[in-house]
Amino acid sequence: MTHTTGLRWLDRPGEQGTTWGVPWPRGALRPGTPFALTGADGREVPVQSWVTATWPDGSLKWTAHAAGAGPAAEAYRLEPGREPAVPGTPVTVTREDGALRVGTGVVTWTIGQQGGGTLARSIAHGDREVAADVRLVSLRQRGPTPDEGGPVAREQLTGQVERVTVEQDGPVRAVVRLEGRHGDWLPFTVRLYFYAGAEHVRIMHTFVHDGDPERDFLAGLGLRADVVMRDEPHDRHVRLAGSHGFHTEAVRGITGLRRDPGESARRAQVEGQPAGELHPEVASRLHLVPAWTDHTLDQLSADGYTLRKRTGERHGWVTVPSGTRSAGYGYVGGVSGGLAFGLRDFWRLHPTRLDVRNAASDRASVTVGLWSPSAPAMDLRFYHDGMGQDTFAEQLEGLEITYEDYEPGFGDARGVARTHELGLRAHGRTPSARDLAAHAAAANEPGLLTCAPERLRAAGVFGVWDLPDRSTPARAAVEDRLDFLFDLYVREREQRRWYGFWDYGDVMHTYDPDRHTWRYDVGGYAWDNSELSPDLWLWLQYVRTGRAEVFRFAEAMTRHTGEVDVYHLGRWKGLGSRHNVQHWGCSCKQVRISNAAYRRFHYYLTADERTGDLLDELCAPEETFLTLDPLRKVREDVYTPDPAALSVGLGTDWGALAAAWLTRWERHGDERARDRLLGTMADIGALPYGFLTGEGRLDLATGRIDSTREAISVSHLSALFGLPEICAELIALDLGVPGFERAWLDYCRLYLAPPEQQEAEVGRRLSGISLVQAHSRLPAYAAARGGDAGLAALAWRAFFVDEGDQLNSNPLQREDDWRLTLVDGPHVPHPVREAPFVGTNGAAQYGLAAICNLALVGRYLPQADQRG
């Protein structure tokens, strides 16, 4: 059997290098297997490969691959067992004179090994220096920006690199990691990605907010570089991306003058070519034509950017026609070369800025602003004063009215993070407008090679799912609803403007049909923060469909929820925050939000090192239970976190722990993680009531759960944060853990079983049963494992009829009522198309239940509508 794998581009080709992941069936390939890459045109393409995960038997589960720059084929074949082609211009990393020199064959970056105030000392295109002193810059205020204006002191800071690490050194791809701090705060990690033959260098910047929200206000943040300017001012060019094309300027313009320099000169300047000889009447008066040395583009909202330029710091700005959404890409330089710069998702991550300064001098500077200094300073203070909720009793009362789990001091942003993807591209001449537009598009949608869904499915990864099947009207109806829900969230993100520095990538939790908006200002109903696993729904919908727009939506959510909704340092490191008006606002800090199950899809499909960092932060997730008891406000027993007997829920808690342990084991071969995973699986299997016990006591020293506990406690949330998905994966791995599968199947059979059956099997009727549609995938799983048609019928009845509180519970919402309603008029700020019956809890769990049920018991799907 051949394991040659076909690859296609996700949405657009990548011509400056790309990295992707490929899964392999268990037992198919052993470590050390080489890989060769061939284009559809028959061209042998150099490829660099490495292992990102192994199966329990040691065979390869996931591999990562990198291809360098060059013309992109429409498709490729990846062939294991054959040596790869050697790049003609390999990436090289050399060390000399205290510096790293990384060369792609086209550009060379010089990076100081001892750290300091630069990310790179120099960038050369060929043998000519194009830019120097690539550095991080920021502004800090000691108070918020005053509402009525007035002076505010701002401190200018330069990022200091403290550690430099070469993570890969070629021959196709090299990665250099730099770690440091923005002055004396805001720890950062920057990765520089180099590909063989590439002019473009990809830059991933992550910072963690460690300031005091009451006194540390970030007023500006950016990446800056100095650009060498050699050409005459009329042969120097500035390009800044607008909504469709580029603001196209020369530092000293020769178009539009009273005297004509000549048609060829005018055309050449606009096209970025040498202007050549000018008419004498113009050439003799060039010193009287202003040189526009500074240019600024500010994107302060998702709906508009402003452009301005000036002749010097002591002179006023002149406004330039502005627009809506800048692509976030620019260039400054001349006919002998220059530097292009950009920020992915520029307008989506507002307030952002592109700056060019001193373009008329020997050295211009460019800044890609991640937080524009034109915007008010970043204000991360909690949004209310607590309203007297000083005790658990008062806080539980607040939970009853606004659904906000408040606790004094817990709405703290210290420890949250944000990652941005930037790029710098050295040029030997001013690029054409067409080339710049292509580069900007590639920066915003980087090329990614992918396997077809059929190939992913054949590898047996990511648990229970199957390909879409519209072979019957009933199946097609469920698929239509899955598409409806995804398309709804894409539309809602746009019409509700779910954009911004801290917000982009997340979605809202619950809708308010009275105001025709989401409950953005109501306690725990606002930002979703992974509640009830929308991340899982989106990723599973991607792997089964291969739709590029689903991937991009899920990727943005992973970038957000893994960074902003999780603490990366401080007292809550490793925990995430429940849904709230602010992403960090809720006092419920749990591993159910920092869940590795939500991040591993992106890591394996892209081999993204930053996502790998997020997974590595969860190397010992069980230790977070020493920090905070998730049940502290509702406990009826007396409990203090005890290292020898930590309270761990067997649903939301253990599911997240298991996902972290499994991922660490398969990524790193970590025996500690393996032993804790297998040990706790065995302990759950040994509990008299298995998963129905609800809570276990974990000994941190041994990594084992007390298996003598006899109790029954069922939570409606236990199975809604990835537990069914991770249990299915673990059982499919056939790890030889006695009792675990039986314990899970008992839970799956009994959660929605008739009360009489529950009482007969465990001695009591289960309480706390709700979210019936979401739990329909439990009997579906048991049905598939045991071939039980009765359980399959129960699963579909629960999915369609829904005796609980999810999408099908509204009797008006029959199949033809899953549609949008136009709301227009003076009672809304702008017309919207709404689906008021949809909330994210219901959408995510409908999606997960539908995907699972179709895969497991699709052949039992009733053809007649059960919703009547």
Q: How far apart are CA 244 and CA 440, in angstroms?
A: 10
pTM of the predicted model as reported, rounded to 2 decimal places: 0.97
With a cut of 60, say whether residue 584 has pLDDT above it.
Answer: yes
Listed residue (723, 831, 704) closest to 774, CA to CA? 723
Q: How far apart are CA 401 and CA 421, in angstroms?
A: 40
Q: Which pLDDT belongs to residue 864?
A: 62
Residue entry with tokens 């494992």: 785
Residue 303, amino acid: D
Please state the rounded mean pLDDT for residues 159-176: 97
| DSSP run (H or E) holding 61 | strand 60-69
Q: Which pLDDT belongs to residue 868?
A: 38
Q: How far apart are CA 282 and CA 259, in angstroms?
A: 6
Q: Which pLDDT belongs to residue 806?
A: 53
Residue 61, amino acid: K
Q: How many CB atoms lie within 10 A of CB 537?
A: 25
Q: How many CB atoms lie within 10 A of CB 696?
A: 24
If pLDDT is split at 50, 70 and 90, which confidence band does 539 have? very high
The Cα diameter of the chain in Å comes to: 102
Q: Two tokens at 694?
A: 């609800």
Distance of CA 698 to the CA centre of its chain: 32
Tell me the pLDDT tens digit for each residue of 676-716: 999 999 999 999 999 999 999 999 999 999 999 999 999 99
Please state the rounded mean pLDDT for residues 635-663: 94
Q: Check residue 286 and report its DSSP letter.
A: G
Share of the chain above pLDDT 70, in %: 98
Q: Which pLDDT belongs to residue 814?
A: 54
Q: Which pLDDT belongs to residue 817?
A: 75
Please state the rounded mean pLDDT for residues 176-183: 96
How long, in residues, is the chain?
868
If pLDDT is split at 50, 70 and 90, which confidence band does 167 have? very high
If pLDDT is split at 50, 70 and 90, which confidence band does 149 have? confident
With a cut of 90, say whether residue 115 has pLDDT above it.
Answer: no
Tell me the pLDDT tens digit for each residue of 301-319: 999 999 999 999 999 999 9
DSSP percent split of the chain into helix, strand, coil, nearest 5: 30, 30, 45
Tell me the pLDDT tens digit for each residue of 528-538: 999 999 999 99
With a cut of 80, say whether residue 810 has pLDDT above it.
Answer: no
If pLDDT is split at 50, 70 and 90, which confidence band does 126 have? very high
With a cut of 70, say whether residue 58 has pLDDT above it.
Answer: yes
Share of the chain above pLDDT 90, in %: 93
Q: Is the dihedral of CA 403, 405, 411, 415 positive or negative?
A: negative
Please state the rounded mean pLDDT for residues 572-577: 97
With a cut of 70, say whether residue 205 has pLDDT above it.
Answer: yes
With a cut of 50, say whether residue 741 has pLDDT above it.
Answer: yes
DSSP labels, 226-252: EEE--S-GGGEEEEEE-SSSEEEEESS
Q: Which pLDDT belongs to residue 638?
A: 81
Q: Which pLDDT belongs to residue 813?
A: 47
If pLDDT is split at 50, 70 and 90, which confidence band does 78 have? very high
Q: How far apart are CA 325 and CA 340, in angstroms?
A: 19
- What's the Cα-to-Cα distance from 234 to each of 54, 278, 719, 798, 857, rounded to whole Å? 58, 10, 66, 72, 70
Tell me the pLDDT tens digit for each residue of 367-421: 999 999 999 999 999 999 999 999 999 999 999 999 999 999 999 999 999 999 9
How confident is the prediction for the chain on average, in pLDDT?
Answer: 95
Q: How many CB atoms lie within 10 A of CB 204?
A: 19
